[in-house]
């Protein structure tokens, strides 16, 4: 009865606003019974698509989530002693093993990790020195100056937008300087007449260094990640704490990770913010399973979807595109895929795509019909064509995508 009341209320409001079209209230009421969060097929060619949930999980991670969600678990219970345990114990040792850090901590996202790291190192009123070229903003208006302010610290800017030298940091250091913050330009690049300070030189200044490397590259042997800072390098350089995402280039669930010196991680773990920012059990299960795959680099490249999409061979992509084109009546063209998710903004991933010619208005209608499919299929629209990029479709999803296209074409073609 509740969905019927909702449908009637919506229709009354529409009529009062001048609507005169006919509406099937039964169909509308039934639509409210469907869950809003749905699986979709990503044919955009954007690998880490923020609006589509970022990194798809590896099979092992999905199975871990299902296993833990099926009942109770030892998320904060030590099975050996029978006493209360820490949820961090499930991933801290793995993170230390993979990065060389002394200790580690997982929270609910990278913004939270950076906030907690600054709060733990700078304390109330301490100065945090940052290059002007690294005062970045990420999606949703999240800005580094605001992070520092919310952590209770004071921002000290050094250098210029395009050039910051070691001497700039040295000149700004004083008795109130609590930490140096280095922020990777994950979602943009400054090109041309530029200069910045390597992490090794920054750590050599003798103050605590918080290194926010953003996208979280753990794989050292994927060509597409060659220009991305590796977590292990920052740890070896001596950064007090390194923060990064789990749901971007690492290819795991939404989480923010802190690795570094034991005393700094301990301070972060004991900070009042840590409770508000803690990771949940399902994300923790997926994170542990994803990190375990990195113990075998070759296995990680094939089992973690983000790495597999970055590392897929041109032959596999071509075969997938030709199969999709044959099943939909489309044509194979050359296209460019993107990493997305605020990662590797300049990287162009050249490969095939399937083009469905429909004209400007027809392409819009077809795109809408695809989004209304079961499951919804999300594509790109360019120059009157609907483009389906096989890089972000698995082999198993190609046939499913073709069926969605067939239904959409039958709805939109005269």
φ, ψ for residue 385, nearest 5 deg: -125, 145
Query: Which of 397, 306, 378 lies closest to 349 in space, CA to CA?
Result: 306
> CATH number for the domain including 266?
3.40.640.10
Please state the rounded mean pLDDT for residues 128-133: 93
Instruction: Say whether pLDDT at 228 is over 90.
Output: no
Please state the rounded mean pLDDT for residues 86-110: 96
Which residues are CB-neighbours of 67 under 8 A, at least 6 positions away? 285
Query: Which of 36, 28, 38, 39 lies closest to 3 in space, CA to CA?
Result: 28
350 and 367 part of one domain: yes
67-76, 115-124, 221-230, 346-355 — most confident range: 67-76
pLDDT band at 9 (very low <50, low <70, confident <90, very high): confident
Q: What is the pLDDT of residue 342?
A: 75
41 and 166 part of one domain: no
What burial class does residue 266 get, using C-beta atoms within 10 Å of its C-beta: 0-12 exposed, 13-18 middle, 19+ buried? middle
Q: Are 166 and 206 in contact (CB under 8 A)?
A: no
Task: Please state, rounded to an integer, the average pLDDT across all residues of the chain.
Answer: 91
Q: What is the pLDDT of residue 414?
A: 67
Each as own residue / partner, the long-range contacts of residues 329-333 (CB below 8 Å, 24 or more positions apart, any chain) are 329/356, 329/409, 330/354, 330/355, 330/356, 330/357, 330/388, 331/355, 331/357, 333/387
Please state the rounded mean pLDDT for residues 261-266: 97
Q: Which residue has the tokens 């330009």?
A: 185
294 falls within a domain = yes
Q: What is the pLDDT of residue 123?
A: 81
Number of H helices and E strands in the chain, helices first, is 17, 15
Domain end point (choices 278, 303, 328): 303
- The pLDDT tens digits for 345-388 are 778 899 999 999 887 778 999 999 999 999 999 999 988 899 99
115 and 258 part of one domain: yes
Please state the rounded mean pLDDT for residues 268-278: 95
1 falls within a domain = no
pLDDT band at 210 (very low <50, low <70, confident <90, very high): very high
141 and 284 part of one domain: yes
Instruction: Say whether pLDDT at 251 is over 70.
Output: yes
Which of 7-11, 152-156, 352-356 is the least confident region? 7-11
Which of 68-72, 150-154, 168-172, 215-219 is the least confident region? 215-219
Instruction: Say whether pLDDT at 90 is over 70.
Output: yes
Instruction: Say whether pLDDT at 104 is over 70.
Output: yes
Q: What is the pLDDT of residue 156?
A: 94
Instruction: Say whether pLDDT at 25 is over 80.
Output: no
Q: What is the pLDDT of residue 24?
A: 80
Q: What is the pLDDT of residue 153?
A: 92
Q: What is the pLDDT of residue 1?
A: 65
Q: What is the pLDDT of residue 3?
A: 75
Instruction: Say whether pLDDT at 187 is over 80.
Output: no
342 and 232 part of one domain: no
Q: Indicate the number of domains in the chain.
A: 2
31 and 73 part of one domain: no
The torsion of the CA quartet 397, 399, 400, 402, rounded to 10 degrees, works out to: 120
11 falls within a domain = no
DSSP, collapsed to helix, strand or coil, labels residue 74 as coil
Range of the domain at 36: 21-54+307-412
Instruction: Say whether pLDDT at 259 is over 70.
Output: yes
Distances (CA, A) of 67 to 62, 189, 255: 9, 41, 19
- The pLDDT tens digits for 285-332 are 999 999 999 999 999 999 999 999 999 999 999 999 999 999 999 999
12 falls within a domain = no
Instruction: Say whether pLDDT at 118 is over 90.
Output: yes
Percent of the chain with pLDDT over 90: 71
Please state the rounded mean pLDDT for residues 35-40: 89
Six-digit token pair at 17? 């606003």
132 falls within a domain = yes
15 falls within a domain = no
Longest CA span, the chain:
75
Better pLDDT: 188 or 271 = 271
Q: What is the pLDDT of residue 139?
A: 66
Distance CA 390, CA 45 (A): 7
200 and 294 part of one domain: yes
Which of 29-38, 56-65, 92-101, 104-113 is the least confident region? 29-38
Q: What is the pLDDT of residue 165?
A: 94
> CATH number for the domain including 50?
3.90.1150.110
Q: What is the pLDDT of residue 366?
A: 93
Please state the rounded mean pLDDT for residues 396-406: 95
Q: What is the pLDDT of residue 362?
A: 87
Domain end point (choices 303, 337, 357): 303
Q: Are 225 and 208 in contact (CB under 8 A)?
A: no
């Amino acid at each position: 009865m509740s969905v019927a009341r909702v449908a009637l209320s919506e229709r009354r409001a529409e009529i009062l606003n001048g609507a005169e079209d006919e509406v099937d209230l039964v169909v509308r009421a039934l639509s409210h019974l469907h869950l809003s969060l749905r699986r979709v097929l990503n044919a955009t060619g954007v690998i880490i698509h923020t609006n589509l949930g970022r990194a798809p999980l590896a099979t092992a991670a999905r199975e871990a989530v299902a296993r833990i969600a099926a009942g109770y678990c030892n998320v904060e219970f030590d099975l050996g002693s029978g006493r209360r345990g820490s949820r961090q114990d499930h991933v801290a040792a793995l993170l230390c093993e993979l990065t060389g850090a002394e200790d580690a901590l997982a929270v609910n996202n990278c913004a939270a990790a950076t906030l907690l790291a600054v709060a733990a190192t700078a304390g109330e009123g301490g100065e945090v020195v940052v290059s002007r070229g690294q005062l970045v903003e990420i999606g949703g208006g999240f800005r580094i100056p605001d992070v520092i302010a919310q952590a209770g610290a004071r921002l000290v800017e050094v250098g210029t937008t395009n050039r910051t030298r070691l001497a700039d940091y040295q000149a700004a250091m004083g008795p109130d300087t609590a930490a140096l913050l280095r922020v990777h330009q994950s979602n943009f690049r400054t090109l041309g007449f530029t200069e910045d300070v390597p992490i090794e030189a920054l750590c050599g200044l003798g103050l605590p260094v918080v290194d926010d490397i953003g996208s979280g590259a753990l794989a050292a042997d994927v060509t597409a990640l060659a220009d991305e800072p590796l977590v292990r390098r920052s740890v070896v350089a001596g950064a007090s704490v390194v923060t990064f995402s789990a749901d971007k280039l690492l290819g795991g669930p939404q989480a923010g990770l802190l690795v570094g010196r034991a005393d700094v991680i301990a301070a972060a773990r004991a900070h009042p913010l840590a409770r508000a920012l803690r990771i949940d059990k399902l994300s923790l299960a997926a994170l542990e399973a994803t990190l375990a795959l990195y113990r075998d680099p070759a296995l990680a490249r094939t089992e973690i979807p983000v790495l597999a999409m970055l590392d897929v061979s041109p032959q596999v992509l071509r075969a997938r595109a030709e199969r999709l084109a044959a099943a939909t009546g489309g044509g194979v063209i050359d296209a460019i895929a993107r990493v997305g998710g605020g990662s590797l903004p300049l990287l162009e991933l050249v490969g095939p795509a399937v083009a469905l010619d429909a004209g400007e208005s027809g392409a819009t209608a077809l795109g809408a019909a695809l989004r209304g499919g079961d499951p919804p299929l999300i594509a790109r629209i360019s120059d009157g064509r609907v483009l389906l990029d096989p890089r972000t479709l698995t082999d198993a999803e190609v046939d499913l995508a073709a069926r969605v296209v067939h239904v959409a074409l039958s709805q939109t073609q005269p």
